[in-house]
Amino acid sequence: MTTLQPKRQQAQDRRSMGHAIMWVLILCFIAVNLFPFLWVLITSFKPGSEIYGAQTAFRIIAAEPTAGNYVTVVQKGILSAVLNSLLVSGITTGYVVLVASMSAYVIARCHFRGKTALMALILGISMFPQMIVVGPIFNMFFQLRMLNSYWVTMAYSTITLPSAVWIMVAHFKRIPLSVEEAAKIDGCSQWQTLWRVIFPMAAPGVFTTAIMTFIAAWNEYLLTLTLNSQKEYHTVPVAINALRTQFSILWGEITAATIIVVIPTLAIVLLFQKQIVSGITSGAVKE
């Protein structure tokens, strides 16, 4: 007994030390990830003289904090850009989720030649650099007279639809065929089975696809800059990029605009974080 107690104590000490080291590493990881956002928040309340000053640039708390940067970006139309982004991202999300769900259901349930090649093509398209497709898209929009409009949502589907289909196929494959057979026996048509049975069971995948599509559309820059040159149709990334002069970048206004812009997406992620995690994990394991 006398020899076992010191060994148990040493094992407990090593276990406690391991837990302490783990928590220190976790806290360091969190601090490193939160630091950029906190520094942007701090900078947004600094006047220009303190942002560029050699002695004040690294000061955590501004000597003369100001909300002037927020007032300036609001006067420059950042709220209009936020509304444009919400509108464009919302329309894109609804359209992509609808098309991706029906396409993924057909791919997951139907057997046809070239199915594997089709999935490989979808995955390959999602990897295309935007610089390759932006030229043909611009020519098409110019010919159809769709420039400087909210039709840019159709162009957004080129970067969000392939990955959305790929995610939804994985979730539809997890739903047993016996569920559909039971619905058909109960008198449901193919359309009723899809909307009343399959979609509710695939809700985690739908949520995941919707959130990822919304964020991708929200952060899109190149297509909006190319297709919508008029300021009233600018979305958030383009509006923030415009906060500069010929010889300088207005970091105070950029950081203030960034804080305003982050709030909607942060709220969405916090509200639906359980659905996002559920959707990601439910499609990760085959049963």
pLDDT of 173 over the 60 cut: yes
Q: In the prediction, which pLDDT does 2 show?
A: 52
Per the prediction, the chain carries an average pLDDT of: 82
Please give the pLDDT value at position 283.
47
Higher pLDDT, 189 or 92: 92
- Whole-Å CA distances, 133 to 90, 148, 156, 207: 23, 18, 11, 28
**Structure confidence at residue 54 (pLDDT):** 67
Of 96 and 157, the one with more pLDDT = 96
Query: Which tens digits make up the pLDDT trace of 39-63?
Result: 888 888 888 778 876 677 777 777 7
Per-residue pLDDT, 286: 47
> What's the confidence (pLDDT) of residue 205?
80
> Each residue of 73-119: pLDDT tens digit?
988 888 999 999 999 999 999 999 989 888 888 888 888 888 888 88
